[in-house]
Structure 1
Amino acid sequence: MINDKYKTLISYLKALGSVVVAFSGGVDSTFLLKAAKEALGEKTAALTVVSPYIPKWEIEEAKELVKTIGVRHEFLQVPVIMDEIKFNPEDRCYLCKKAIFTKISSFAKENGYKYVVDGTNFDDIKDYRPGLRALKELDIKSPLLQNELTKEEIRKLSKELGLKTWDKPPYACLLSRIPYGTEIKEEELRKIEKSERYLMDIGLKAVRVRAHGDLARIEVPKEDLDKLFNKELLSEVTQKLKSFGFKYVSLDMEGYRTGSLNETIEKGK
């Protein structure tokens, strides 16, 4: 069944003729890039966004992954925080994706690629994702969504294809760590980036540091909570995050969950 979906995906991509893959280096975009290379060969390019919202280590990982797959790799520089999203509105993802994918579409057109594709998968439509509207408006193709590939299926197929991202924890841009309606400052993003990198380096895979002003709220998977219930480690983590600029450090007892800040949005809004 999964293999049939993969064959259908390859056929879908072949029909597009040539593509630019919006490439973050995550599970979905890496799998999509690998499939696009198989379907279209040199008619495939990867484009990675470089901005204050993306951790530097993510960019470096993306570079290495594209080298392994073997396609053209370009970078879209977004050096400043855009005015439209400066105060992190609830439709931030829509505004950001509209601006960025407009630029990616221009790159594709200027370089002779027929379509821009992204790694939205079939499970993504279950969460609050205003950015999907921007993709639809700009005619960005989402092959994984169109072919109803779920995250679990993508991970299984990635493992079969030998992609080291098959078990990579989910990640999202750093703006998702800041509550809606809060002014976005680059120094705040760097605090979050340093804090999450440190927590990953001590063995916590899927981790988020949500910033509420001077307070850092750490989310880790529930099965990892017991690792932090250690006086020495708690003290070490607290002091480290304070050294990055936070005044207070807390642990979310509900554990990590995707888009926890979306819980503050009025139901149905």
Structure 2
Amino acid sequence: MCKTLLNNLETEITKYINGGICVAFSGGVDSSLLLKICCQLAQKQHKKIHAVLFDTFLHTKNDIEIAKAVAEECGAIFSILHINELDNPLIQNNPKDRCYQCKKFLFTKLLEFAKQHYCQTIFDGTNEDDMHIHRPGLQAIKELGIISPIANAHITKEQVRILAENMGLSVANRPSNSCLATRFKYGTTLETALLQKIEQGEIFLQQLGFRQVRLRIHDDIMRIEFSPEQMPLLIENIEQIRCYFKTFGWKHTTIDLFGFRSGTMDW
């Protein structure tokens, strides 16, 4: 099965090699697998692939070093686009169409980069699973002509991880991450200090050993999501966690008994 999936993905990518490819790259497993295969195919034709990371206030900063290392691992040309999407009035108040507006804003910038570097095609790491859940940003990238080879090859997230592990990618089992705006209710004004606080809180929990974690904010309540299997880790560190988050200023800090679930602020 893996060989068939890989062949399908290579077929999707090969169509665009000659015209030059720019990969929207986060250092996550989806875009890393995509980049790795692009670079392998491009090398056969003595071409280089551009891997471009968005550095924004809505993306965690630890992505940068990981993405840089993986891009070097794959043999790509690594670049960073520094963008402040909070300057965009269509994004700064976290509207319900924020994901659409944000993707449109970021990928419009990436189209400019691609043109400057003579790349006819931009790839992103959307997978098959993403096509069946709430992802408003997919409409924006479709409108802009961005290609999603993994989704086009009908490869799921689990299959992406299997392929990445088979190819020896260092991020094969890296937990998925998401835009920091997803930690807040729609209509919340997104302020830099607030976003940084949430990022620091999640890093604190990750350093304690929590693998997949989110801090969700509901007015004066902060809700912590993590895998229920790691409840013993919470109990072991409860006093340290309580003292740390007491300084954050929310009236209540709660644990979500249902654990980590993607997209809970959309429910």
Which band: TM-score by shorter chain? over 0.9
Gaps of 5+ in 1: 264-269
Q: Deviations over 1:136-170 (max 9, x none)?
A: 10010000000001011110010010001111111
**Superposition pairs of residues 180-199 of structure 1, within 5 angstroms:** 180-199=186-205
Aligned equivalents of 1:80 and 1:157: distance in 2? 33
2:40 pairs with 1:3: no
Q: Identify the match of residue 238 of structure 2 among 212, 234, 241.
A: 234
Q: Judge conservation of contact 2:85–2:92 (CA < 8 Å) in 1.
A: no
Aligned equivalents of 2:256 and 2:183: distance in 1? 13
Aligned equivalents of 2:217 and 2:75: distance in 1? 37
- Matching residue's letter, 1:184: L
Which residue of structure 2 aligns with residue 139 of structure 1?
Answer: 145
- Matching residue's letter, 1:192: I
Q: Judge conservation of contact 2:97–2:136 (CA < 8 Å) in 1.
A: yes
Q: Judge conservation of contact 2:127–2:154 (CA < 8 Å) in 1.
A: yes
**Secondary structure of the residue that 2:15 maps to in structure 1?**
helix
Which residue of structure 2 aligns with residue 155 of structure 1?
Answer: 161
**Superposed displacement of residue 244, structure 1:** 4.2
Percent of matched pairs sharing the same residue:
36
* Residues 200 and 213 of structure 1, relative CA distance in 2, 3 Å threshold: same
Which residue of structure 2 aligns with residue 20 of structure 1?
Answer: 22
Q: Deviations over 1:58-95 (max 9, x none)?
A: 11211111121121011111135121111111111100
**Superposition pairs of residues 102-121 of structure 1, within 5 angstroms:** 102-121=108-127
Which residue of structure 2 aligns with residue 55 of structure 1?
Answer: 60
Which residue of structure 2 aligns with residue 266 of structure 1?
Answer: none
Q: Identify the match of residue 212 of structure 1 among 188, 210, 218.
A: 218
Q: Judge conservation of contact 1:225–1:255 (CA < 8 Å) in 2.
A: no
Aligned equivalents of 1:66 and 1:243: distance in 2? 37
Which residue of structure 2 aligns with residue 37 of structure 1?
Answer: 39
Which residue of structure 2 aligns with residue 254 of structure 1?
Answer: 258
**Secondary structure of the residue that 1:249 maps to in structure 2?**
strand
- Matching residue's letter, 1:168: R
**Secondary structure of the residue that 1:85 maps to in structure 2?**
coil
Q: Judge conservation of contact 1:194–1:244 (CA < 8 Å) in 2.
A: no
Which residue of structure 1 aligns with residue 172 of structure 2?
Answer: 166
Which residue of structure 2 aligns with residue 221 of structure 1?
Answer: 227
Aligned equivalents of 1:84 and 1:260: distance in 2? 22
Q: Judge conservation of contact 2:51–2:79 (CA < 8 Å) in 1.
A: yes
- Matching residue's letter, 1:125: M
Q: Deviations over 1:116-150 (max 9, x none)?
A: 00000000112111000001100100000000010
- Matching residue's letter, 1:34: K
- Most deviating of 186-195 and 233-242: 233-242
2:61 pairs with 1:67: no
Aligned equivalents of 1:141 and 1:3: distance in 2? 22
**Secondary structure of the residue that 2:113 maps to in structure 1?**
helix
RMSD: 1.3
Aligned equivalents of 2:24 and 2:59: distance in 1? 14
TM-score if structure 2 supplies the norm length? 0.94
**Secondary structure of the residue that 2:195 maps to in structure 1?**
helix
Aligned equivalents of 2:220 and 2:233: distance in 1? 24
Following TM superposition, where does structure 1 have runs of at least 4 consecutive aligned residues deviating by more than 6 angstroms?
Answer: none
TM-score if structure 1 supplies the norm length? 0.93
Aligned equivalents of 2:184 and 2:239: distance in 1? 24
